[in-house]
């Protein structure tokens, strides 16, 4: 994940605004809502192309099947991730060894690493295509302000709220951008840091792909992505909530339901190789296991 990945994504926009202040509870801005977003996209894309730092971080992902907790680290070769807990319980020694063997296999296979890097680059490119389409795909309007928190924007800052609805004149250049035609919602922007703090969208109608032959997304689908200042002048995604259902190729059901939180961001050298990143993940997992041992013993003693 970069300063705005996008994994992911999803990752989600920095912006230009010359003045932002409150008067009678409403923001006074010297730029139109759509111009603000257009300038935001240009600056956000630049931030994605030139990230300030690489990070190690933790993810806890909840789905209808349970939860998974992983450690991730960004390296110059590809992202490395290690599963460390399932349903909030540490993985078994057997599972942990499987994770280590998988990562060692990747580290020792340059061809597989290149393919992994290519897939990650393609995902990031799709995210940027969506971001670049936002100013044309939607009509934005100011809708007040909200306060930032430690996981949303930058603590203490005022967030400017913009509602968005589809632009009827927009014609998506490919199926990647088609989903935007059925979406409405709002964004929150941190005026001081010039970054996007949140984007929240709902599908108010069914969206089809490839004239319905490739598939469709059902009405009522929802996604929410938020990011915050994680230190060192870098912003990153702190939460992603996704609930989308539909069909692919007319008959295969599609269900994407997850709630993922990202935390414990720490800057790491941008020159890390994948093998070095794996070693750092293993060291971190061992440290967490040592820290858990006294806590587990204390809990067992109380019981």
Give the whole-number percent of the chain exceeding pLDDT 90. 56
**Domain-by-domain residue ranges, the chain?**
7-302
Spatial separation of the C-alpha atoms in residues 59 and 154, rounded to whole Å: 20
Whole-number pLDDT of residue 7: 41
The per-residue pLDDT for range 108-163, each reduced to its tens digit, is: 999 999 999 999 999 989 888 998 999 999 999 999 999 998 899 988 888 999 99
**How far apart are alpha carbons 11 and 131 in whole angstroms?**
10
Q: Higher-confidence residue: 264 or 7?
A: 264
Q: Looking at residue 45, what is its pLDDT? A: 82
φ/ψ of residue 251, rounded to 5:
-125, -20
Asked if residue 273 has pLDDT above 90, the reply is yes
Cα 182 to Cα 125, 179, 218: the distances in Å are 22, 6, 10
Q: In whole numbers, what is the pLDDT of the chain averaged over residues?
A: 84
What confidence score (pLDDT) does residue 208 get? 80
| Tens digits of residue pLDDT in 192-215 | 777 889 999 999 998 886 544 567
- Report residue 48's pLDDT band, with 50, 70 and 90 as the boundaries: confident
Which range, 35-39, 103-107, 243-247, is most confident? 103-107
Query: Is the model's pLDDT at 69 over the cut of 80?
Result: yes
Q: Is 143 exposed, middle or buried (0-12, 13-18, 19+ CB in 10 A)?
A: middle
- Residue 26: what pLDDT? 41
219 or 295: which leads in pLDDT: 219
Identify the residue with better confidence: 267 or 214.
267
pLDDT 10s digits, 9-43:
334 333 322 323 333 334 445 788 998 888 777 77
Q: Which pLDDT score, from 0 to 100, does residue 302 have?
A: 59
Under the banding of pLDDT at 50, 70 and 90, the label for residue 248 is confident
Q: Are 75 and 276 in contact, with CB atoms under 8 Å apart?
A: yes
Query: How buried is residue 243: exposed, middle or buried, by Cβ count under 10 Å (0-12/13-18/19+)?
Result: middle
Least confident of 73-87, 243-257, 264-278: 243-257
- Give the DSSP per-residue string, 243-284: EEEEEETTTEEEEEEEEEEEEEEEEE-TT--HHHHHHHHHHH
């Amino acid at each position: 994940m970069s300063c705005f990945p996008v994994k992911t994504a999803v990752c989600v926009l920095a912006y230009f605004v010359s003045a932002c202040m409150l008067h009678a509870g409403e923001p006074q801005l010297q730029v139109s809502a759509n111009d603000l977003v257009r300038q935001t996209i240009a600056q956000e894309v630049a931030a994605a192309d030139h990230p300030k730092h690489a990070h190690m971080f933790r993810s806890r992902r909840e789905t209808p099947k349970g939860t998974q907790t992983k450690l991730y680290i960004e390296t110059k070769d590809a992202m490395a991730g290690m599963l460390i807990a399932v349903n909030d319980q540490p993985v078994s020694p057997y599972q942990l060894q499987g994770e280590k063997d998988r990562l060692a296999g990747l580290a020792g296979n340059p061809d597989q690493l290149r393919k992994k890097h290519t897939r990650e680059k393609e995902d990031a490119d799709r995210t940027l295509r969506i971001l670049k389409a936002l100013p044309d795909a939607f009509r934005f309007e100011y809708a007040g302000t909200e306060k930032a928190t430690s996981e949303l924007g930058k603590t203490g800052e005022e967030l400017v709220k913009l509602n968005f609805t589809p632009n009827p004149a927009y014609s998506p250049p490919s199926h990647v951008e088609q989903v935007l035609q059925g979406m409405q919602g709002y964004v929150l922007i941190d005026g001081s840091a010039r970054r996007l703090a949140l984007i929240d969208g709902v599908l108010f109608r069914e969206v089809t792909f490839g004239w319905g032959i490739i598939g469709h997304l059902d009405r009522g689908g929802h996604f929410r992505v938020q990011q915050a200042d994680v230190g060192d002048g870098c912003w990153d995604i702190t939460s992603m909530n996704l609930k989308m259902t539909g069909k692919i190729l007319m008959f295969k059901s599609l269900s994407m339901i997850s709630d993922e939180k990202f935390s414990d961001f720490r800057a790491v050298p941008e020159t890390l190789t994948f093998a070095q990143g794996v070693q750092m993940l293993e060291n971190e997992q061992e440290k967490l296991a040592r820290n858990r041992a006294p806590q587990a013993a204390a809990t067992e003693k109380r019981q």
